[in-house]
Amino acid sequence: SNVSVYHHAGRLLSLGEVGLPYEISTTDLSTIGVHDFGGRITGNVTAHPKIDPATGYLHFFGYEFAEPFLMYYVADASGALVHAEGVGVGASTMIHDFAITDRDVVFWEMPVLFDLELAVQMVSEPASDVMPFVWTPSYGSRIGIMPLGGPASEIRWVEIDNCYVFHGVNAFRDGDDVVIDVCRLAKVFDGSSLGPPPALHRWRVNTAGASLTFADEVLSDRPADLPNIDRRHVGREYRHSWRVEVTDSPDTVDLLGVVHYDARTGREQRWDPGAGRGSGEWLFVPRGDGEGDGFLLSYVYDAATDRSELVVLDAQDVRAGPLATVPLPQRVPYGFHAAFVV
Ligand SMILES: [Fe+2]
């Protein structure tokens, strides 16, 4: 469970997308054990659950390798599972993230299909370095909109051009439109390359008619991913988001610094930690009540010294550079997602 950590209902959960969460101690980070919501979940749990800021409910899902392929779950503010149901999809596709609004659940299903033979090879021949997912354009890509809390029988889908999205930034209602901001890749896992870098897109799905309609707008083509927002605005109209700038290197993706996107002005500001230095995800930590009033935290690794430091930026003024840096006694390996627990 190495993808993310999430704090909900007093529990700190380590999440890995495939498999169940592990609960870890908030005092010493020791492993408490598998958390299966009282035995009610036996399948996979996404590393990107969403907490509805109005209710404290945890909305999440898991994609499965057998029917029903996609499960939707809700836990109440005490952490008790109150809803679990299958969502009708046609195959086992890799779904890394989803979104909620104040009244909708948003899934995006894209043509990265689970391959059992490759999975067997991955386990039996670890050196083969294969992933059990295959880019399968004929499967198509689609967005599903269903009522928050279910039922999944009311989900409606709209077909879109093939692409892949690991991470949504946020989603919200604008009248009959569901607005979904995402870090969009043209393709992934196609065996030839890592593919073109992710760009920030704004999707609009109009729900007024008998069929959903879809519109796609590029907000920023600056290559960046691992988005963060002020999570007090999950599912609500929002202004600020922060992504990690990325650049291609021969066989991997190098992480640079942070890009702050202001949805009101369309402007971006960036901070680059400098040559040979790269950051992980930038985690927003609130200071005041206003959206985006707070700090950004990330570990910055310096290849020349093989050391890491914790860097603190003003979320509203990333260009100004660090407000504080905390040297660390050893390197912190690059990871995916973080949590700040008070
Ligand atoms: Fe992720």
Question: Is residue 153 over pLDDT 70?
Answer: yes
Quote the pLDDT of residue 71: 98
As a residue count, the chain comes to: 342
Report pLDDT for 17.
94
Could you give the count of Cα atoms lying within 13 Å of 48 in the half-sphere of its Cβ? Answer: 21
pLDDT at 193: 60
Give the Å distance between the CA of 47 and the centre of ligand 1.
7
Cα-to-centroid distance, 331 and ligand 1 (Å):
22
Categorize the per-residue pLDDT at 194 as very low, low, confident or very high, splitting at 50, 70 and 90: low
pLDDT reported for residue 147: 98
Q: Please give the pLDDT value at position 299.
A: 96
In whole angstroms, give the CA distance from residue 115 to residue 113: 6
Q: Answer whether 237's CB lies under 8 Å from 263's CB.
A: no
pLDDT tens, position by position, 89-131: 999 999 999 999 999 999 999 999 998 888 889 889 988 878 8
State the pLDDT confidence band at 342, using cuts at 50, 70 and 90.
confident
Tens-digit pLDDT profile for residues 233-272: 999 999 999 999 998 776 777 899 999 999 999 999 999 9
Q: What is the mean pLDDT of the chain?
A: 95
Q: What's the angle, vertex CA 196, arms to CA 273 and CA 16, rounded to 5? A: 70
* 210 C-alpha to ligand 1 centroid (Å): 33
Q: What are the pLDDT digits (tens) for 120-140?
A: 898 899 888 788 899 999 999
The CA-based angle 220-314-59, given to 5 degrees, is: 65
Higher pLDDT, 195 or 58: 58
The whole-number pLDDT of residue 192 equals 66
| Residues β-bridged to residue 114 | 133
pLDDT for position 195: 67
**If you measure from the C-alpha of residue 62 to the centroid of ligand 1, how many angstroms do you get, rounded to a whole number?**
14
The predicted structure's pLDDT at residue 249: 73
* pLDDT tens for each residue of 139-151: 999 999 999 999 9
CA of residue 225 to ligand 1 center, whole Å: 9
Binned at pLDDT 50, 70 and 90, residue 68 comes out as very high
User: How many angstroms is it from 335 CA to the middle of ligand 1?
Assistant: 10
In the reported structure, the alpha carbon of residue 167 is separated from the centroid of ligand 1 by a whole-number distance in angstroms of 6
> 218: which residues sit within 8 A by CB, 6+ positions away?
199, 200, 201
Average pLDDT over residues 67-77: 97
Residues 280-333: tens digit of each pLDDT? 999 999 999 999 999 999 999 999 999 999 999 999 999 999 999 999 999 998
Domain boundaries, the chain: 231-342
Please report the pLDDT score of residue 253 as a whole number. Answer: 79
